[in-house]
Amino acid sequence: MTNPLLDFTGLPRFDQITPAHIAPAIDTLLEEAEAAVEQARKVTPVTWDTFVTPLEDATEKLGRAWGQVTHLQSVMNSPEIREAYNAALPKVTRFFSALGQDQALYAQYRSLAQSPEFNGYDQARRKAVENALRDFRLGGAELEDDKRARFTEVQQELASLSAKFSENLLDATDAFALYVEDEAELAGLPADVLASCRAAAEEDGRKGWKLTLHMPCYLPVQTYADNRSLRETLYRAYGVRASEAGPAELDNTANIERILALRAELAELLGFDSYAEVSLATKMAKTPEEVLGFLRELAAKAKPHAQRDRAELEAFARDELGLDTLEPWDLAWASEKLRQARYSYSALEVKQYFTEPRVLKGLFGLIHDLYGISVEEDEAPVWHEDVRFYSLKDASGRLVGQFYLDPYARPGKRGGAWMDDCRNRRELATGGQTPVVYLVCNFGKGVDGKPATLSHDEVLTLFHEMGHGLHQMLTEVGTLPVAGINGVEWDAVELPSQFMENFCWERGRVQAMSGHVETGEPLPDDLFDRMLAAKNFQSGMQTVRQLEFALFDMLLHSGFEPGSTDVMALLEQVRDEVAVNRPPAWHRFPHQFGHIFAGGYAAGYYSYKWAEVLSADAYAAFEEAPEAVAETGERFRREILSRGGSRTALENFTAFRGREPEINALLRHSGMAA
């Protein structure tokens, strides 16, 4: 047990894992998993206990250890971790790819599905077997030998290319620094951002302030810096990251082309017309046409609102700000000025009221009100001093789940916010295994002894990620392949996360979790009224921006032809159709679109909007019965969160709502209802 990655007796020993542990641990676990597969291929009779359980035991250990490695690679990236990760990645990919194509295992699952025992299984076990059979088909198990070998090669190369895409983006983001010595050039920037930038410069042994492309710096510069050329400098640097405009070794151009070509080849090998069809085989939406129809219907409703938003902003910029042309680096700044003028409040003013400790207290209070679950601080080995650990307990004191919270941005940590599972729920002969998850954000850290303050958008982000975490932690399903978010259709996976965001707009909730960083006073009523009035400020522009990304993704993956599809030209066509804000021709958005090139969202980015229909409609149930929060919360937990992937997402939703989802609530919440 000297290698912490081989210890599964409790929580991961993050304080002890070093890059040197990675290769030996993964090699050992691969060997064990391969032995278990060998055994599973020939076991008779095929039952859950003789076949599924031993196979799950071995692959779960490998998955958990590899999960810790990929997690560290995301949050504590270093040359040593990267090297160890990249050395092990092909072996792990090869194993899981071979597993998905294993003829003997496929035959064993087929005989399990045809066995007398199968009909006596509960819903979760039956669904797990049906999903396994489907995944074998999608994993190439029905291919002839030569095609199966090629399929494996394609999957391995895709895994390496996605990792490389992500590394290039991280390195290109980390590589930029602008040192400013004259404070006058930074006019308009918030005091906490200035303090962070000054601390960053000091750390580098430099005078003045250090500006970077990390969100806690980049976004405030775009939104508040009055210096137009400073905004432009950072916008340009941000817009060409990981492209031909920078160092050749960080250019993602070839990676994009190769990833798309390999995905098209993979689809062809499986007998699909496009990679989009492969992607949709495990989703609620059934065809690319259905998705494109959904996105275009929403675009038709949103674009007039977006055009109105843009016209208002142009007029305001011209008449009040003296800008004859509204450049892309003016958008956030001018929008913030318009918001202040129209609603007499700035996001910056609001930010002073949301200190991290108060927001967490409010979030944990909501979890208790909805589900009767208490969140308590707990202890665990962590990978960085900023990380905290919490336990969830029900009314009887039973441990339900646990989570790590890694809240702040830092070098070597990839941008964005996400939830990932560390250990899933599972019923074992020795008892139940409780879920553990990672919640990762990139907020600015508090300085000068003050707590971190969050913008309202960041509060939404925190609630969003906790929604994913609750989906994983509150599952009552003990069958691993359909526990938590396992087996949940990807386009429904955002339902519990987006659902949580709605509570950040309830007056009582906001007051309970706000307290001014200096005085402790809760957010004043009139300020909240102005926030509410501004809630749908520019929602048309925001909606078409998301639709632009989703349409680009779906069209790219449903019609890509190697050698003839021009990725940038396709993006421009999509913008002709839906966009009201056009980035310059030199902007390289695809080179930074990690969601589809390095994440799980290829031909699935539409899921955000698709799930927003579900989440808005689900929250409407709480609006319809404001006096029954606990009862409605209990029903939401019982029918959606606790079920995991043991039923289809549509069955879960219909059981909760009593009908199929409707789009009206989304349009109403976005201020775009007729």
| Catalytically annotated residues | 465
The neighbour count for residue 2, using CB atoms within 10 Å, is: 8
Among candidate residues 356, 81, 407, the one with its CA nearest the CA of residue 215: 407
> Residue ranges of the alpha helices (H) in 324-434?
331-343, 347-351, 356-371
Spatial separation of the C-alpha atoms in residues 279 and 297, rounded to whole Å: 21
Could you tell me the sign of the dihedral formed by the alpha carbons of 97, 100, 101, 103, in that order?
A: positive
Contact 455, 496 (CB under 8 A): no
Spatial separation of the C-alpha atoms in residues 169 and 241, rounded to whole Å: 7
Contact 603, 592 (CB under 8 A): no
Spatial separation of the C-alpha atoms in residues 221 and 160, rounded to whole Å: 34
Helix (H) and strand (E) counts in the chain? 26, 9
Contact 607, 283 (CB under 8 A): yes
Among candidate residues 261, 264, 288, 291, the one with its CA nearest the CA of residue 277: 288
Contact 611, 491 (CB under 8 A): yes
Contacts of 198 (CB under 8 A, 6+ apart): 208, 209, 210
DSSP H or E run through 391: strand 388-393
Spatial separation of the C-alpha atoms in residues 201 and 257, rounded to whole Å: 38
- Residues forming a β-bridge with 406: 440
Residue 418 tokens read as 């996400």
Spatial separation of the C-alpha atoms in residues 172 and 169, rounded to whole Å: 5
Q: Tell me if residue 177 falls in helix, strand or coil.
A: coil
- Residues forming a β-bridge with 388: 405
In 87-123, which positions are buried (b, 16+ CB within 10 angstroms) versus exposed (e)? ebbeebbbbbbbbbbbeebbebbeebeebeebeebee
Exposed/middle/buried for 449, CB within 10 Å: 0-12, 13-18, 19+?
exposed
Phi, psi of 408 (to 5 degrees): -105, 150
Spatial separation of the C-alpha atoms in residues 485 and 642, rounded to whole Å: 10
Query: Which one-letter DSSP state was computed for residue 591?
Result: G
Spatial separation of the C-alpha atoms in residues 293 and 584, rounded to whole Å: 28
User: SS in 3 state form for 521-575?
Assistant: CCCCHHHHHHHHHCCCCCHHHHHHHHHHHHHHHHHHHHHCCCCCCCHHHHHHHHH
